Amino acid sequence: MATVADILQFIETLAPRSMKMDWDNVGLLCGSRSTPVTKVLVALDPFEHVCQEAADWGAELIVTHHPLIFRPLPNVTDETSIGRGLMTLIKHDISAINAHTNLDCADGGVNDTLAEILGLADVSIIGSEHLLRAGNFESDLPAFLSHVKAKLGCEGLRYVDGGKPVCKVAVGGGSCGSALTEVAEAGCDTFVTADVKYNQFWDAGELGINLIDAGHFQTENPVCAVLAEKIRKAFPETEVVLSKNHYDCMKFY
């Protein structure tokens, strides 16, 4: 039977710790390496309702993209959502593993998955941190916006029209708006990312970049299915499922 240590070692072959950003927190953040694992719940975030879902299902491990503990915690109590989530995991002897910026950068990780879902061709790595991906896709901007919205299941998109047709597209799941200059230097005319700031939209217009904010959840969540399938194939005796209760909390009115 696989243990938490076995699954952690496998995940870190897919997304090595050496690829993470210095400020990040990845790996085993709760639980024991020696715990036998028969059920794994995979989700983008280790939020309280995901932890409870794991407990209700009888999972011994949750695997997420975002870390359970990101900044030092002053306490762990039932007065905060993070505290309640941790208490649920500890009470039910559930371990928590995450792969964050290392999975963003990794081959077949967040950004390769995003590029694949959007149908980009001739995909390559761009950017000084080897994080972003870029590929070819020929379209006018309105048709590409519709394509992105449908492929990622977005309720809406924020965007700026850079005044160019879509030919070379950069993608960066999550908050990558600060990489706009690198996207321009790579010769891209379009950039799909999330959490874009007001001034970054203005900067994109000045640079002639079609900048599309497709949402943090929508640009990163697709990798969860890929990660779950890889764990499932590596550990066929272990039941691996995606969270049925996790969703984007942001809505459009």
16-30 pLDDT, tens digit each: 999 999 999 999 999
Residue 129 has pLDDT above 90, yes or no: no
The answer, yes or no, to whether residue 128 has pLDDT greater than 90, is no
- Total-model pTM: 0.95
| Residue 121 in this model has a pLDDT that exceeds 90 | yes
User: Token pair for residue 75?
Assistant: 């306490």
Task: Please report the pLDDT score of residue 157 as a whole number.
Answer: 97
Contact 209, 193 (CB under 8 A): no
Q: Using alpha carbons, list the distances in angstroms from residue 163 to 2, 9, 129, 195.
A: 53, 47, 28, 22
Reading the block at residue 211, the tokens are 């900048």
Q: Given CA atoms 97, 103, 107, 108 in this order, what sign does their dihedral have?
A: positive
